[in-house]
Amino acid sequence: MLADAMRSNIRQYGMLVALGLIIVLFQVWTDGTLLKPLNVTNLIQQNGYILILAIGMMIVIISGHIDLSVGSLAAFVGAAGAVMMVQHGISWPMALAVALLIGAAAGAWQGFWIAYVGIPSFIVTLAGMLLFRGGTQILLQGQSVAPFPKGFRQLSSGFLPEAEPETNYHNLTLLLGAAVLAVAVFQEFRGRRQAAKFGLELLPRGLFVVKLAAIAAAVTVFTLLLASYHGFPIVLLILGGLLVAFGYVMRNSILGRHTYAVGGNAGAARLSGVKSKRVVFLAFVNMGVLAALAGLVFAARLNAGTPQAGINFELEAIAAAFIGGASASGGVGTVFGAIIGGLVLGVLNNGMSLVGIGTDFQQVIKGLVLLAAVGFDVYNKRKIGS
């Protein structure tokens, strides 16, 4: 039973275990620097926009497609937001809303050609990469546009406010961490009860207790690290909201189930009555909105709209999705897995920089990690098929 449970959960938890091992490795290698509160906060803020992109990319890949334009679209939307706020004096909330609409329109444009005209997503989004990169240069005229209003900068560098009474920790962060832990434990028990109700295979009780203890330890340590510095970053709250919302949609909604069906077997899904064109179209609209949000978060972090923003963002997002469990053939993956894949890349980048590994070797190592993740997926499929 133990072996069966491990085999059935290896895809779900394998990369999570790998992330834990990578953290332990670099924590020892950097003499404890990796998990210092300041570095953990910087790690979140430096990778927030990639994690946002990874969520959207995971959904696109689950639907059986790919999007090469997200880095250029993020740059274009960041540039548009900069022009609106700095050159035209538009308030940052209004500029934020308009910028997200621009992202939705760009995603709808690409989704139309892919879903309804039938042009492969690789070609459409490659064209989009060139189009949006050129549009960024035109908007900014080759110059950076800055600075932004303080409220807008809080998207990337802001924190939850302090709350009384005065302690050695950030009180709101402690309360939020306790709430997250309670919800996580409740969901685990709820999932176990539902699995038992439908006669599905359960983790042995001992392993389930170990899993709960691991979740409690991870949430507690993470909360205390953040609470001992400035508290929860705003970008982490954004990520948490996206994780909960999209996780629910992909697990529990009709649209989520249809997305998996279209990616797994588009022909069978269509014969079953699934509106596959609409599903693909909405996946790209969603990707456009999330690319816009990522571009705004990145611009807020730089405090400028720059022509060189977004370079290689699409590669990082695609790598995060595949490392996090997406299948190259579609139909497989989770939103939580996208976050784990993005964190694996983020911790690798941060840890290798702390120990002085050059960017050239960093690229080699990340490439090998990506190859290993996809190779693991192919190996599993062959093993199941045999």
pLDDT in tens, 215-264: 999 999 999 999 998 899 999 999 999 999 999 999 889 999 999 999 99
Per-residue confidence (pLDDT) for residue 1, from 0 to 100? 46
Q: How many residues belong to the chain?
A: 386
Residues in a beta bridge with 305: 145
Where exactly are the structural domains of the chain? 2-140+164-168+228-385
Output the six-digit token pair for 296: 């705004």
The domain made up of 2-140+164-168+228-385 is a member of CATH 3.40.50: no
pLDDT in tens, 270-289: 989 999 999 999 999 999 99
Query: What does the pLDDT look like over 150-186, one tens digit per residue?
Result: 999 999 999 988 877 777 788 899 999 999 999 999 9
Summarize the confidence of residues 115-138 as an average pLDDT.
96
